């Protein structure tokens, strides 16, 4: 038997150096992926907040137009988690002259069942923070991040959404 034909050892796996290189590469890719994921999620939350603002504003404008045309406006009033049952208002067009009543009607409508804040905020009970809320005067631009506030001011409704820090959207809708 010659020395050249005999194998002195057989390689049956990876060396420690090869494994460490692979682990280091995976770690670098995971870190880069986490940074990209956080940026993506932040942008998605801002986009969802902007979309919520537009949906609320357009719904309220369309609803008030129904009242101006003489149609009835029936909105959701409450939702029971226990049995999944929705209750509805009577015609709320008669309340068009009272901005704070209209705010109450619309906030109840959007939160029956609860519409969760796109930024994932929780209330004191650990439930999702509602995406649509009512607010008193002087709170324009001071809502929670991701929250769309409906504010009464005289005979106007102000739709105010804090989409992110230092970025707020506002629409004003005149009541008759």
Each residue's pLDDT expressed in tens, for the chain with a length of 176 residues: 555 555 656 667 888 898 999 999 999 988 888 887 777 888 899 999 999 999 999 999 999 999 999 999 999 999 998 898 999 999 999 999 899 999 999 999 999 998 899 998 888 888 888 899 888 655 788 888 999 999 998 899 999 999 988 899 999 999 87
The whole-number pLDDT of residue 8 equals 58
The whole-number pLDDT of residue 107 equals 94
The whole-number pLDDT of residue 124 equals 85
The total of other beta-carbon atoms located within 10 Å of residue 115's CB is: 17
Range of the domain at 36: 16-174
Domain membership of residue 5 (yes or no) is: no
The whole-number pLDDT of residue 36 equals 79
The whole-number pLDDT of residue 6 equals 56
Domain membership of residue 22 (yes or no) is: yes
Longest distance between any two alpha carbons in the chain, whole Å: 107
Domain membership of residue 134 (yes or no) is: yes
**Angle at the Cα of 36 from the Cα atoms of 168 and 24, rounded to 5 degrees:** 155
For the chain, helix (H) and strand (E) counts, in that order, are: 2, 6
Encode 49-80: b = buried (16+ Cβ within 10 Å), e = exposed: bbebbeebbeebeebbeebeeeeebebbeeee
Structural domain total, the chain: 1
Domain membership of residue 120 (yes or no) is: yes
The total of other beta-carbon atoms located within 10 Å of residue 107's CB is: 19
Domain membership of residue 85 (yes or no) is: yes
């Amino acid at each position: 038997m010659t020395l050249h034909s005999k194998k002195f050892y057989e390689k049956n796996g990876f060396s420690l150096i090869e494994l460490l290189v692979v682990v280091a590469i995976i770690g670098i890719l995971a870190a880069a992926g986490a940074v990209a994921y956080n940026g993506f999620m932040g942008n998605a939350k801002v986009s969802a907040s902007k979309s919520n603002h537009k949906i609320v504003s357009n719904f309220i404008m369309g609803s008030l137009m129904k009242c101006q045309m003489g149609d009835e406006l029936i909105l959701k009033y409450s939702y029971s988690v226990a049995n999944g049952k929705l209750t509805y208002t009577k015609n709320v067009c008669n309340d068009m002259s009272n901005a704070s009543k209209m705010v109450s009607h619309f906030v109840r409508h959007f939160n029956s069942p609860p519409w969760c804040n796109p930024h994932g905020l929780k209330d004191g009970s650990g439930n999702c923070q509602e995406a649509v809320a009512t607010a008193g005067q002087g709170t324009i631009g001071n809502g929670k991040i991701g929250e769309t506030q409906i504010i009464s001011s005289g005979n106007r409704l102000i739709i105010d959404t804090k989409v992110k820090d230092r970025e707020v959207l506002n629409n004003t809708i005149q009541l008759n």
